[in-house]
Structures are given as C-alpha cells and as structure tokens.
Amino acid sequence: MNDGTLRYGVYLPPFGPFGDPKVLVELAVRAEAAGWDGVFLWDHVVGAVPPIADAWTSLAAMAQATGNLLLGPTVTPLPRRRPWTVARQASTISRLSGGRLVVGTGLGSDESGDFSGFGEATDLAARSSMFAEGLEVMRAMWAGTAVAHHGSHYQVSLPATEPEPHRIPVWVASSTNHPRVLARAVGCDGIFPNPEDHELTPREVADLREALGDAGLPADRPFDIAVRGNVSPAWQEDMTADLKGLAAAGMTWWLESLIHFDPLDLSMAIVDAGPPRV
C-alpha cells in the first residue's frame, strides 16, 4: 500500500498564537531545520481565538522560505470554496515550491460557523455532492484536460491546456469509514482519518487499510494514511500514542498536532525537538 517510509509532519491551526503569518513562516523554517518532513495547516475562516491567518496565503509564504518541506492545507473544505479558485491557488503554490504541495480536502465543518456564518450550505448531503463535483473539476484543471462539467452545483467549460508541471497529491479527509468516502479516497492519493472525539488506534488504522482494499485500492499502489496525535517527548506531560503500532498497521504520515491554546514557546519547542521517530 505504501513504500514503507514513515514521514513526520506538524499539524496546526493558523489562528491564535499561529495567526501571525510571520510566526507560521518561522515555524516552517524551524521545522525543516529540525528534520520534519511537512507542515500542514487547518483552513478556517472563523476560529475560536483571533487573529486568523489565511491558510493558502500562509502556505505560499512558507513555500518561499523553505526548500524541502512538504506543505499543504489539512484540510481545505471544497464546499465553501469555489473549486476553480482552489485549483489555481494549489497550482501557484505547487509551482512556487517546486512540487512540494499536498492538498488535504474534505467536506469541512461548521463547528465555528465557517458555513452558517456566511449563509453557505450546511446540509451534509449537499456539501458531499458539492465536494464530489468540486474534486472532479479541480483535478481536471490540473491535468490540463478540457472541462465540460454540468453538475447540480457547478457549471464549468474550459478548453484543454498544459498540465501542471508537478503532480499535486490529494488526501481526502474522513471522520468515518463510509463507503462513499473510501471510494473517493481510493481515487486520490491518501486519506486523513480525523474522528471528532479521539485519536486513532493501531486497530482502527488496520481496519481502515482493510476497508480501503475492499473499496478497490491495490495493495501495491502508493497511498498515504495520515494520522494526527501527540507523542513528542518534548511535551510537558506523558503522551501515550502507539507510534510503532500505528506504523505497523499502515500509517504512512504521523502529524504531531499543535493546538492554539498551548503557549507558543511550548509549540516551538515541540517543533525544534524534531520528529519522534519510530
């Protein structure tokens, strides 16, 4: 299912202490120096603690300041963004970074009012339909193929053009193992299982890997399973995530989760400590 390499990233919300884009750029530079493989930002319009930085603008600045680090939104909700705008933003950052962009995307959440606060659709079925259409449009634009999309939500007519110079991987976010979600993920490059109330166990990752196979993912096809949590020894409390067990179960990316209500100095210490390798 993957090449056997476990990669390590930092995963954080760009608000509160991280709401200053200059701080995000500094964090990315320090993460690269400390040996992390990637930095991934939440994408919200409304957050619990201001200020809030735009994820895409911040990622562009981070790309310019780093040389090897993979970067991406985890996740950007297509149902509240025009998919052609996301396609162009992603294209720009991919070319700016020399192909170091990974687009994590999904339905999004209205927990902080990102949809309802602006009169956007909040119905889950509607957002799911919008996501499916948006994903199709976005990936077709990157491929350079002619687009003649006439769906329930989007009408797009574009002539063929040059494909992107760098392939842009897509991870599909999921809070459940619903067959529709798994089918979408299998058509992309990875999955970001993100349950609302707990961190994944090795058993859950193994079950997910099996379900992906049942959904049609070939066992020998490169495919990422990105898992978030906390395990760094630099935290000021014991963390119990079973990193070795998760990796054995099929995890390909470990995302060390930084939270906006932690002191910024502590978060930077986690980054500077480097990845907690298996």
Q: What is the mean pLDDT of residues 174-193?
A: 94
| Span of 93-97, 152-156, 196-200, 248-252 with lowest mean pLDDT | 196-200
Q: Taking the CB of residue 140, how many other CB atoms lie within 10 A of it?
A: 19
Predicted TM-score (pTM) of the model is 0.96
Residues in the chain, overall count: 278
As for how many domains the chain has, the answer is: 1
Sign of CA dihedral 260, 267, 55, 122: negative
Find where tokens 């700016």 sit: 96
Q: Is the peptide bond before 51 cis (omega within 30 degrees of 0)?
A: yes
Which pLDDT score is estimated for 3? Answer: 63
**234 pLDDT band (50/70/90 cuts)?**
very high
Q: Is the pLDDT of residue 1 over 50?
A: no
Which pLDDT score is estimated for 163? Answer: 98
Could you tell me the residue range of the domain that residue 208 belongs to? 7-273
Average pLDDT of the chain to the nearest whole number: 95
Residue 203: CATH number of its domain: 3.20.20.30
Distance CA 208, CA 204 (A): 6
- At residue 12, the 3 state secondary structure works out as strand
pLDDT in tens, 90-147: 999 999 999 999 999 999 988 889 999 999 989 999 999 999 999 999 999 999 999 9
Residue 66, token pair as written in the block: 């780093």
Q: In degrees rounded to 5, what are phi and psi of residue 6?
A: -95, 125
- At residue 258, the 3 state secondary structure works out as coil
118-123: long-range pairs with CB below 8 Å, 24+: 118/45, 118/80, 120/79, 120/80, 121/79
Find where tokens 């006439």 sit: 150
Q: Is the pLDDT of residue 220 over 60?
A: yes
Residue 77, token pair as written in the block: 């909700």
| Residue 136 placed within a domain | yes
